[in-house]
Amino acid sequence: MNYPEAKKEYKHSSHLVYSCQYHIVFCPKYRRKVLTEEIAKRAKELFTRIAEENGFNILDMEVMSDHVHILVDCNPRFGVDHIVKLLKGKSSRILRDEFPELKRKLPTLWTRAAFISSVGAVSLSVVQQYIEDQKNV
């Protein structure tokens, strides 16, 4: 899947203007290399559908044999942790039903852990400097 170059956009909702992007990484249980090409393709379809159904955007995504990278844009009220739980929970159930070999190889598809990092348009040091400069205004 080729995604267009992501641009920083601000979204509006009731009493809130936001731009929140997160880099999410999660792995199959025991970091097993079970995400074959066919399973990876189906996982991407599922992740895209889950995003559409729940009102967040996937800006970029790659499913490797032993881990998944997803770049999401979401409303901060929705919560990135909630997004990870949705992606892992719904995809696990469907993938394990459609690919019985996953049930034989793993007790559960995904580990409970995930890596989440916010993605900003400016660096942390720029924000810190901006806050410091406010004292002198």
Would you name the residues annotated as active-site residues?
130
Tell me the C-alpha distance between 45 and 39, whole Å: 10
- Beta pairing partners, 18: 11
92 Cβ contact list (under 8 Å, min separation 6): 108, 109, 110
Burial readout 117-130 (b: 16 or more C-beta within 10 A, e: otherwise):
eeeeeeeeeeeeee
For tokens 């920083």, what's the residue?
Answer: 8
Give me the half-sphere count of Cα atoms (radius 13 Å) on the Cβ side of residue 132: 6
